[in-house]
Amino acid sequence: MAAEFDVTARGSPAADPPPGILGKVMRHLLHPFRRGTPPQPQPATGFYTDTSVCIGCKACEVACKQWNQLPADGFAFTGNSYDNTGALSAESWRHVKFVEQFDVLRSLRERVPGNGGGTSEPLAERAEHSPADGRLSLDVIPPPADRWLMMSDVCKHCAAAPCQHACPTGAIVYNEFGNVYIQPDICNGCAYCIAACPFGVITRSHFDGHAHKCTLCYDRQKDGLVPACAKACPTASIQFGPVAELRERAAKRVDELKQRGHAAAHLYGNQRTEAYSELHSFYLLLDRPAVYGLPDDPVNPWVHMRGDYLRTVAFGLAGLLLTLAVFLLAGRPA
Amino acid sequence: MPGLGATLGRGAATTYQQDLANADCLLVMGSNMAEAHPVGFRWPLKAKENGATLIHVDPRFSRTSALCDVFVPIRAGTDIAFLGGLIRHVIEHDKWFREFVLAYTNAAVIVDEGFRDTEELGGLFSGFDPTDRTYDPQAGHWNYAGANGKTQHKDEGNPGTHGYGHMGGGEQHPQPQKDPTLRHPNCVFQILKRHFARYTPEAVAGVCGCSPEQVVRVAELLAANSGRERTSTIVYAVGWTHHTTGVQIIRAAGILQLLLGNMGRPGGGIMAMRGHSSIQGSTDVATLYDLLPGYLPQPTTDDAHSTLRGYLDKETLSTGYWANMPAFVVSLLKAWYGAAATPENEFGFGWIPRVDGDHSHLVTTDRMARGEMTGYFVFGQNPAGGGMNAGMQRAGLRALDWLVVADWFETETATFWKNDPTGPPPRDVKTEVFFIPAAGSPEKEGTLVNTQRLLQWHNQALDPPGDCRSDAWFVYQLGRRLKELYADSADPRDWPIQALTWDYDRRHPHTLPDRTASRIHDEPDTLRILQEMNGRTADGRLLQTFGELKDDGSTACGCWIYSGVTPEPGRNRANERDRTPGNPVEPNWGFAWPLNRRVMYNRASADPDGKPWSERKKLIWWDEAEQRWTGPDVPDFEPTKPPTYRPPAGATGMAAIAGDTPFIMKTDGLGWLYAAKGVKDGPLPAHYEPIESPVGNSLHPRQPDNPTVRTFPGPLNPLAAAPTADFPVVATTFRLTEHYLSGPMSRFNSWLNELMPEMFVECGPELAAEVGFANGDWVTVRTPRAGIVCRALVTSRIKPLRVDGRAVHQVGLPFHWAFAGETVGGNANDLTSIVADVNVSMHEAKVFAVRVEKGPAGGPGLLPTKRPVAWPTREPTPGTPPAAQPEGGYAHGG
pLDDT confidence of residue A145:
75
Q: Does residue B405 form part of some domain?
A: yes
Decide which of B439, B466, B494 is a domain's last residue: B439
Residues B112 and B238 in one domain: yes
Residue B306 lies in a domain: yes
CB pairs under 8 A between A and B: 208
Q: Is residue B374 part of a domain?
A: yes
**Do residues B340 and B401 both lie within one domain?**
no
**Residue-number span of the structural domain to which B777 is assigned:** 710-854
Contact A72 B868 (CB under 8 A): yes
3-state SS of B341-367?
Answer: CCCCCHHHHHHCCCECCCCCHHHHHHH
Q: What is the pLDDT of residue A128?
A: 39
CA distance B848 to B731: 5
CB atoms within 10 A of CB B472: 18
For an interface test with A, the pick among B217, B221, B754 (most A C-beta atoms closer than 10 Å) comes out as B754
Q: Which residues of B584-615 are buried (b: 16+ CB within 10 A; e: fewer)?
A: ebbbebbbbbbbbbbbbbbbbbbbbebebbee
| B737, B746 contact by CB (below 8 A) | no
Residue B172 has pLDDT above 60, yes or no: no
> With contacts defined as CB-CB under 8 Å, which chain A residues touch B775?
79
CA distance B691 to B704: 8
Signed CA dihedral, B771, B772, B777, B780: sign only = negative
Length of chain A: 334
CA atoms within 13 A on the CB side of B651: 17
Among B439, B462, B480, which residue terminates a domain?
A: B439
Give the closest residue to A234 by CA, choosing from B41, B577, B756. Answer: B41
| Same domain membership, residue B219 and residue B95 | yes
| Residue B805 to residue A123, Cβ atoms within 8 A | no
Q: The domain that contains B728 carries what CATH number?
A: 2.40.40.20
Would residue B196 count as lying in a domain?
Answer: yes
- How far is residue B718's CA from residue B724's CA, in Å, rounded to a whole number? 14
Mean pLDDT, residues B236-251 taken together: 96
Min distance A120 CA to chain B CA atoms (Å) = 6
Q: Which residues of chain A have pLDDT under 70?
A: 1-3, 6-18, 104-144, 332-334
Supply the DSSP string of B394-407, one letter for each residue.
HHHHHT-SEEEEEE
* A185 closest CB neighbour out of B73, B871, B894: B894
Type and span of the H or E element at B458: strand B454-458
Q: B246-260 and B79-92 helices cross at what angle (nearest 10)? A: 20
End position of a domain, from candidates B439, B464, B488:
B439
- Residue B414 in any domain: the answer is yes
Contact B221 A147 (CB under 8 A): no
**Burial zone of A240 (CB within 10 Å; 0-12 exposed, 13-18 middle, 19+ buried):** buried
Report the relative pairing of strands B810-814 and B760-763 from DSSP bridges. antiparallel
Chain A nearest C-alpha distance from B34 (Å): 6
Q: Report pLDDT for A18.
A: 66
**Predicted pLDDT at B161:** 44
Pick from B213, B216, B795: which is nearest to A100 by CB?
A: B795
Closest Cβ–Cβ partner in A53, A111, A120 for B45: A53
Closest CA–CA distance from residue A301 to any residue of chain B (Å): 28
Closest by CA position to B731, among listed B606, B829, B826: B829
Minimum distance, in Å, between the CA of residue A123 and any CA atom of chain B: 7
Residues on chain A touching B871 (C-beta within 8 angstroms): 69, 71-72
**Which residue from B729, B846, B827 is spatially nearest to B244, judged by alpha carbons?**
B846
Task: Looking at the structure, tell me whether residues B243 and B148 fall in a common domain.
Answer: yes
**Cis peptide leading into residue B856 (ω within 30°):** yes
Which residue from A232, A201, A202, A199 is spatially nearest to A54, judged by alpha carbons? Answer: A232
ipTM, 2 decimals?
0.93
pLDDT digits (tens, 9 = 90+) for B332-344: 999 999 999 999 9
The total of structural domains in chain B comes to: 4
- In chain A the domains, ranked by start, together with CATH numbers, are 41-106+138-299 (3.30.70.20)
- Yes or no, beta carbons of B63 and A150 under 8 Å apart: yes
Residue B120's pLDDT is 93
The pLDDT value recorded for residue B407 is 95
Supply the pLDDT for residue B232.
Answer: 98
What single DSSP character describes residue A143? P
Same domain, B375 and B510: no
Furthest CA-CA distance within chain A? 103
Residues of B in contact with A262 (CB under 8 A): none
Among residues B369, B406, B371, which one has the least CA distance to residue B388?
Answer: B369
Please answer yes or no on whether A67 and B224 come within 8 Å at the CB atom: no
User: CB under 8 Å to A33, separation ≥6 — which residues?
Assistant: none
The distance of A324 to chain B (nearest Cα, Å) reads: 54
Whether B350 and B408 map to the same domain: the answer is: no
Q: Report chain A residues whose CB lies below 8 A from the CB of B736.
A: 82
Lowest mean pLDDT, pick from A17-31, B473-487, B567-581: A17-31
- DSSP assignment, residue B472? H
Does residue B374 sit in the same domain as residue B426?
A: yes
Interface test with A, best of B43, B808, B887 (most A CBs within 10 A): B887
Contacts of B221 in chain A (CB under 8 A): 136
- Residue B802 phi/psi, 5-degree rounding, is -95, 110
Contact B298, B352 (CB under 8 A): yes
Measured CA to CA, the distance from residue A279 to residue B814 in angstroms comes to: 38
**Looking at beta carbons, which residues of chain A come within 8 Å of B73?**
118
B226: closest chain A residue by CA:
A135
Query: B802 and A144 in contact by Cβ < 8 A?
Result: no
What Å distances lie between residue B653 and A265, B174, B589, B664, B891, CA to CA? Answer: 59, 11, 32, 10, 68
pLDDT tens, residue by residue, B812-867: 999 999 999 999 999 999 999 999 999 889 999 999 999 999 989 888 889 999 98
Alpha-carbon gap, residue A87 to A95, rounded angstroms: 6
Residue B115 lies in a domain: yes
Please give, rounded to a whole number of angstroms, the shortest distance from the CA of A204 to a CA of chain B: 12
Q: Collect all residues of chain B within an 8 Å Cβ-Cβ radius of residue A62.
A: 751-752, 755
Same domain, B479 and B570: yes
Q: How far is A122 from chain B (nearest CA, A)?
A: 7
Cross-chain CB nearest to B757 (options A58, A70, A84): A84
User: Pairing state of beta strands B70-73 and B53-58?
Assistant: parallel
Q: Which of B756, B835, B819, B822 is nearest to B791 (CA)?
A: B756
* Residue of B18, B755, B756 to mutate, testing the A interface (most A Cβ within 10 Å of its Cβ): B755
**pLDDT for the residue B884:** 80
CATH of residue B51's domain is 3.40.228.10
The shortest C-alpha distance from B222 to chain A (Å) reads 10
A102–B871 C-beta distance less than 8 A: no
Rounded distance between C-alpha atoms, residue B411 and residue B399, angstroms: 18
Mean pLDDT of chain B: 92
- The mean per-residue pLDDT over the stretch B454-479 comes to 95
pLDDT in the model for residue A213 = 96
**Residue A134: CB partners within 8 Å, gap ≥ 6?**
B224
**Cross-chain Cβ contact B42/A57 below 8 Å:** no
B43/B584 Cα distance (integer angstroms): 13
Model confidence pLDDT, tens digit, residues B605-615: 999 999 999 99
Q: CA of A117, closest CA in chain B: separation in Å? A: 7
Banded model confidence at residue B750, pLDDT cuts 50, 70, 90 = very high
Cis ω for the linkage preceding B594 (within 30 of 0): yes
Tell whether B98 is covered by a domain: yes
Which parts of B144-237 fold into alpha helices (H)? 188-196, 201-208, 212-224
Cβ-Cβ contacts under 8 Å, B776 against chain A: 77-79
Burial A284-293 (b: 16+ CB within 10 A, else e): bbbbebebbe
Q: Helix/strand/coil (H, E, C) string of B810-859?
A: EEEEECCCCCCCCCCCCCHHHHCCCEECCCCCCCCCCCEEEEEEECCCCC
CB atoms within 10 A of CB B516: 10
pLDDT of residue B159: 42
**Does B563 share its domain with B464?**
yes
Cβ contacts of A104 on chain B, cutoff 8 Å: 765, 796
Q: Does A110 sit within 8 Å of B71, measured CB to CB?
A: no
Position A99 scores a pLDDT of 95
Task: Look at residue B784 and tell me whether its pLDDT is greater than 90.
Answer: yes
Whether B66 is covered by a domain: the verdict is: yes
Partners of A113 on chain B (C-beta within 8 Å) are: 802, 805
Distance between CA atoms of B127 and B508, rounded to whole angstroms?
Answer: 60
Q: Are residues B201 and B321 in the same domain?
A: no
Q: Do A134 and B224 touch (CB under 8 A)?
A: yes
Chain A residues touching B67 at Cβ < 8 A: 53, 55
Q: Do B72 and A118 touch (CB under 8 A)?
A: yes
- From residue B806, alpha-carbon distances to B209, B214, B793 in Å are 10, 19, 24
Q: Report the gap between the CA of B260 and the closest CA in chain A (Å).
A: 14
Judge whether B262 and B18 are in contact, CB under 8 Å. Answer: no
pLDDT digits (tens, 9 = 90+) for B558-571: 999 999 999 999 99
Q: Do A72 and B737 touch (CB under 8 A)?
A: no
How much of chain B is in helix, strand and coil states, percent to nearest 5? 30, 15, 55
End-to-end CA distance of chain A: 90
Q: Which residues in chain B touch residue A115, judged by CB atoms under 8 angstroms apart?
A: 211
pTM score above 0.80: yes
Q: Are B576 and B589 in contact (CB under 8 A)?
A: yes
Q: Residue B74 gets which letter from DSSP?
A: -
For residue A148, which residues of chain B lie inside 8 Å, CB to CB? 61, 63, 65-66, 797
B334 plus B368 within the same structural domain: no
Taking an 8 Å cut-off on Cβ atoms, the answer to whether A58 and B884 are in contact is no
Res A129: pLDDT: 41
d(CA B858, CA B629): 68
d(CA B35, CA B41): 9
B267 shares its domain with B403: no
Average pLDDT over residues B866-892: 78
